[in-house]
Each structure stands twice: as C-alpha cells, then as structure tokens.
A and B are shown apart, each in its own frame.
Chain A
C-alpha cells in the first residue's frame, strides 16, 4: 500500500485555528489531498461556508469564494455555469446547508448542478457557541437546548442526505465519517469520487461527513471519536445512499 504522509501541495504550510480534536483539520487535508491526486489545483474554485470553516481559504491553496450563510450553493451554481471547465465545490456545515440554506441546497441538487458538496455534519453550531443545529441528536445538550433536544419542541434531527437521495437530479449521495482510520480512508475515497463525478460531468454529488466538535459536545477528543462511532452514526447511518 503506498503511504503518503506528506502535506498535500494544495494545503498551505500553516497552523490551523481549529480546536483540538476538531474534524475540520482532517477534512481540509482530505479535500486538498483529493485535489492533488486529481491534479486540478489550478482549476479549482471552492466556496467556503459561514461557520468555523469560514477561513478555509487560509488553508487551501486555490481560488475561493466566501458565501453568505446558507448561500454557498447559489454562489457555486453561478460559478460553475459560468466556468463549466472548473472544479467547483462547496464545503458547508449543518447549519449552513440544512437550516438557513435548505432551499439553496435542495434546488441546486434538484437542478442537477454539476457540483460537489462536502457537507460537514457535527450536530452543532460551533462558531457561534454550540447552539442546536438541524442535525443535533435527540436529548443532546446545546446552548439552546440546555435540557437536551426535545422532539416536541424542536423535531427530529434532519436527515437531509436521505431527502436529497430522493431527487432525480442528484447523482450521488454518500455518508461517511472521520472518526476512525478505517472510516477516514473511506471518506478520503468518497471525497475524491465526488470530485471525479463532477470532472466526468455526472452531476450533483454530496458527501456528508460525520465530524467531531469536542468543544461543543463537551467531550474529550477521544470521547468524541467514540460518540460518532457509537451514537451519532446509529442515527445518521453511514453508507452510500445513492
């Protein structure tokens, strides 16, 4: 098996600002790795979200647009339509993609835009201080569900990937995780596949990644990995949805 411990060329050599144990750092690297492997750094345009990863462009060494909260897929739609020869992807959190940006997400998917989406689901709003996300699990405690998420008040965690898999316009939907080496390797493969799909003109591909937010899960990094494996992935079941 070839081993690659080098920093991908698409990643700046700099310290990340993420909390210890956060999934974003791992994912940034995976995205950069996939772009390196495909040799498309010079034709990549990323759309950074609003949230902890808003400054993803401080880490990725390719062109990047910042979008308003939830609007990444509207911005991406236009960039890709104007420049169909480029690799255009959004990197979005759960609040961005599945709450404030639900309409943009569903309609870009339904139009079958030839885009790739990296959807980082960590079940909480990190940047703003750990509030309930659309994907917060039942009875999970957050700043805005101090007694735990109550289905009567806040409904169920939103399975937006399952919803998107129903749409005829969508090419591929896959849920992966970065909580252990085996799943992480699978996530790396899925991300590269989503980019390849686009390069081959196959259409809308979304990879939902279950990712850790130890800070607002009030857990250690180790406990967080375990929580994804044992709790979160029981509700958000891993695998290819479409």
Chain B
C-alpha cells in the first residue's frame, strides 16, 4: 500500500534503513544528524534490530565492523568531524570486504567548523579518507524522497559488492521536511548468502574476517582482488540525472541540495530563453564520467557549483573531452550559493567567449 508522510531527511534515511533490513545501528551524537540516531533508538529495537549509542565514533564504526562480520546489515551515521573519526574503521571494513552503510550529513569544516550545511567532504568520501587503496560507493540524494531511495540502494549495493556504501547528505537535506512516498509492503532487498560471515565454525572450516596478510606478496594479491571489484562497480554503478539539455549551450553540474538550488536557477534562465542544462551526479563514486564525457562532445561549456571551494570540479575536469571548458563557483563554511548567484555565474559562462 502506498503511504505518504511528512518527514525530515534524517528520519527518512533511518526509516529506509530499517525497511532495507538494517538490523544493527551504532552512533554517537553530533549535529546536524541527531534526529537519525534518535529515530534508530526509538524504532530499531521495536522492529527487531539492535541500537547502541557508542562511546565514540571509533567504537561506532568498529561495532558496524563486528555486526557486518556477523552477516548482519549494519549502519552508522554522523556528520563531518565524526566521519573523520570513522576513517580508520572504514579502511578496515573495506580491507576486510565487509558490506556496511555510513551516512554523512555534512557540515562545515575544517576542524569543528560549524553546524551549517556544506559539501566539503567530497574528497574524503570519494577519494578514500582512510589509508590504503579503497573506494566507497558514494550516493548523493537531493531530496527527502531520494534520501529514502538511495539509503535502500546503499544496503543493496553494499551487500552485492561486499563494500562500504556512503550516503553523502548535508545539513539542509538532513533537517528539511518534505513529503515522502513509499510502498508500505515493499519487501526489503533480498538477503544474499554470506558464507564468509562469522557464525561459528559448525560443519565448515573456520572463517576469518581480516585485512592483514603478513607474507610478502599476499597484500598485493588482495589489493588486486579489491581493485577488480572497484572496476566492476565503476563499470556498472554510475548514476546521474540530466535535464534541460534540449539545445543547451552550457551545462551546470551540481549534486545534493546544491543541485536543488541550481535547478531553480536553470528553470528561471530557461524561462528567459537562456540555453542552459543541468547535470546531476547521483553516484559520486563511481563518478558518472562516461555520460559527462559523451555530453561534452557536443556541449563545450560547463559550470560546477558546490558548497565547497572546488572538489567535485576536479572529477568533472577529468571527465570532459578536450576542448570543453569547466568553470567553478562555490561557497562553503556554511555559506550556500543562492539561486541569484548561480544564475549570475551561469550567465558569465554562457556569454564568455573563453568558453566558446
């Protein structure tokens, strides 16, 4: 049965996790994601799961490691400074090939920064904030509805690829309330066999969940296995949404809540007859490079708008074909580019011959 409720982004991600079969959550208080932790505290135990308020972010992510090693769908959430603390655990989870989900409701940094929204953890999320060669699958919703849908998808992909998946939300999306529609009877993503899980060595050889190999050469071999998996993800899981491309002469690239603001700017400029389009990466890793490359064969002017001083723009520049020009506009530290500012920057790109 279809259900429609009014809910915040933070709570929608909690609800989605529970409906996706998440049976373990550990978290530590930090603003602006506290509603999610509180939601899990009140809902998860009622619905057959385990909630733990951990003593630290380090403990939370390592509890997720333990739960996932048990074969259970597990999640943690935090906001930027807390996600920094989790990087060690994320590296170990990736090294041990454990499926797990983490949510980052981004706020301004560096350091303690403040609790205002930002998108300045893009590098950390997509390039590997912890040590070693690894990637997380990183999904960026732009609405409460999509926060729900992508959280569900994150569990599915984490299990499928035995990898860490992260939802990169932000303070706006987490706090904002919007209508959410979902199917009350939709079953959770099918459980898959986890023969590697630690469940007691009954009638089988012991299982070991680890990332260490002392013998020279073994870690290199292990890395090649991981890389093969990452290549598979890169080939199959690039997600994006492109709109207003009809006759477009310039395209703005933005994700998350920045894409929401940018869409309003694009709509307004289109109304004035300006030929601008919108390209919204939904998977930030793998970055939708293929589609952007294809697009840049025809369209040569790009503008990237971020709530950071230029992070995703590097991936856009790496993706487009030679001859395409990529401009950038960003504010951060809690500053959010306004619709007017985005329009102004788009017009600059449209009219600037340097971009022709």
Residues of A within 8 A of B (CB): 41-45, 48, 54-55, 57, 60-68, 71, 74-79, 81-83, 86, 103-104, 106-107
Contacts and interface: CB of A to CB of B under 8 A. Distances in A.
Contacts of A63: 198-201, 206-208
A64 B64 contact: no
Nearest to A65: B209
A61 B58 contact: no
A74 B62 contact: yes
Given A60-B206, A65-B198, A86-B199, 4 more contacts: A57-B210, A65-B210, A67-B62, A104-B58
B114 interface: no
Interface in B229-247: none
B43 to A, nearest CB: 17
B52 A66 contact: no
B23 A42 contact: no
Interface in B288-344: none
Contacts of B202: 42-43
Given A61-B206, A66-B209, A71-B89, A77 B56 contact: no
Contacts of B211: 66
B133 interface: no
A194 B23 CA distance: 28
B38 interface: no
A113 B79 CA distance: 27
Contact of A75 (B56, B65, B88): B65
Given A45-B198, A55-B214, A82-B67, A103 B56 contact: yes
Contacts of B26: 78
Interface of B: 23-24, 26, 50, 52, 54-56, 58-60, 62-67, 69-70, 72, 74, 88-89, 92, 96, 198-203, 206-212, 214
A82 B59 CA distance: 16
A75 B60 CA distance: 9
Nearest to A50: B212
Contact of A77 (B52, B74, B214): B52
A68 B92 contact: yes
Nearest to A71: B62
B69 A81 contact: no
B72 to A, nearest CB: 5
Main secondary structure of the interface of A (DSSP, over half): helix
Given A66-B210, A107-B59, A81 B199 contact: no
A45 B92 CA distance: 18
A106 B56 CA distance: 12
Nearest to A47: B66
Contacts, number: 128
A103 B50 contact: no
Nearest to B63: A78
Contact of A62 (B70, B201, B210): B201
B211 to A, nearest CB: 7
A83 B70 contact: yes
Contacts of A74: 54, 58-60, 62-63, 65-66
Contacts of B23: 82
Contact of A82 (B54, B60, B70, B96): B70
A82 B74 CA distance: 10
Contact of B52 (A45, A61, A81, A86): A81
Contacts of A57: 206, 208, 210
A104 B55 contact: yes
A67 B59 CA distance: 11
Contacts of B210: 48, 57, 64-66
Given A63-B201, A81-B50, A75 B63 contact: yes
A82 B200 contact: no
Given A54-B212, A63-B199, A68 B88 contact: yes
A165 B125 CA distance: 41
Nearest to B58: A71
B55 A103 contact: yes
A232 B69 CA distance: 37
B69 A75 contact: yes
A103 B59 contact: yes
B348 to A, nearest CB: 48
A104 B62 contact: yes
Contacts of A71: 58-59, 62, 65, 89
A22 B23 CA distance: 41
A187 B202 CA distance: 28
B96 A66 contact: yes
A79 B72 CA distance: 9
A45 B65 contact: no
A104 B26 CA distance: 14
Nearest to B207: A63
Nearest to A106: B55
A81 B202 CA distance: 20
B200 A43 contact: yes
A90 to B, nearest CB: 11
B24 A66 contact: no
Contacts of A86: 199-200
Nearest to A41: B201
Contacts of A67: 62, 65, 92
14 contacts: A48-B210, A62-B206, A63-B198, A65-B209, A68-B65, A71-B58, A75-B69, A78-B63, A78-B74, A81-B24, A81-B52, A82-B50, A83-B200, A86-B200
